[in-house]
Amino acid sequence: MVEVGERAPDFELLDTELKPRRLSEFLGKRFVVILTFPAAFSPVCTKELCTFRDRMALLNKANAEVIAISVDTPFTLKAFKEANRLNFTMLSDFNKEVITKYGVVHESLLGLKGVAKRAVFILDPKGLIVYKWVSDNPGIEPPYEEVIRIVDELSRKYSPVM
């Protein structure tokens, strides 16, 4: 499992338009908030991602970009994104490479093997993990206000990377 202070492992995953996206393309000038979640269209995941959607203005003000990752197919994620008007990047980790690298794999969840744990990682512009929250209980939502507060504090602490 990755830890605070470590460099976040780079990855390449397909987005909802089937375009390969690398973590490294998001780094440099912004903080990156990586969300991993178990399953599109499930009640708790829908609530979580819609809550982040509704707080994007605060995250953008704090110079942060959100990337949401699950093991759902890009097609499922596209439908989920459109149905909920999600305003951030969604990536498919169908082959479970990223959730394995980051150490956020549910070995079995309701009989499903290898879905993502609900987790939040905040990366600084250089790709260092500055915050980590992981839940073994898929029914527990992330601490939204804490995530926003930390990104806001970090954005005031760090000078922009040029």
Q: Is the model's pLDDT at 93 over the cut of 90?
A: yes
Per-domain residue ranges of the chain: 29-158
Contacts of 48 (CB under 8 A, 6+ apart): 35, 37, 118, 141, 142
Looking at the chain, the whole-number percentage of residues with pLDDT higher than 90 is: 80
- The 10s digit of each residue's pLDDT in 20-38 is 999 999 998 789 999 999 9
Q: What is the DSSP string of 15-34?
A: ETTS-EEEGGGG-SSSEEEE
pLDDT, average across residues 157-162: 58
> Active-site residue among 13, 45, 71, 91?
45
For the ranges 3-7, 9-13, 56-60, the lowest mean pLDDT is seen at 56-60
- Is 50 one of the catalytic residues? no
In terms of C-beta density within 10 A (0-12 exposed, 13-18 middle, 19 or more buried), how is residue 20 classed?
A: exposed
Contacts of 162 (CB under 8 A, 6+ apart): 29
Nearest to 36 by CA among 127, 99, 124, 82: 99
Q: Is the model's pLDDT at 74 over the cut of 60?
A: yes
pLDDT, average across residues 110-120: 84
Query: What pLDDT, on the 0 to 100 scale, is given for residue 160?
Result: 53
Q: Name the residue with higher pLDDT: 98 or 161.
A: 98
- Which of the listed CATH numbers 3.40.50.300, 3.40.30.10, 1.10.760.10, 3.40.605.10 matches domain 29-158? 3.40.30.10
Structure tokens at 145: 């206000």
pLDDT, average across residues 79-84: 98
Query: What pLDDT, on the 0 to 100 scale, is given for residue 88?
Result: 96
Rounded Cα distance, 27 and 39, in Å = 26
Query: What pLDDT, on the 0 to 100 scale, is given for residue 110?
Result: 67
pLDDT, average across residues 138-156: 92
Query: What pLDDT, on the 0 to 100 scale, is given for residue 162?
Result: 38
Q: Is the model's pLDDT at 48 over the cut of 90?
A: yes
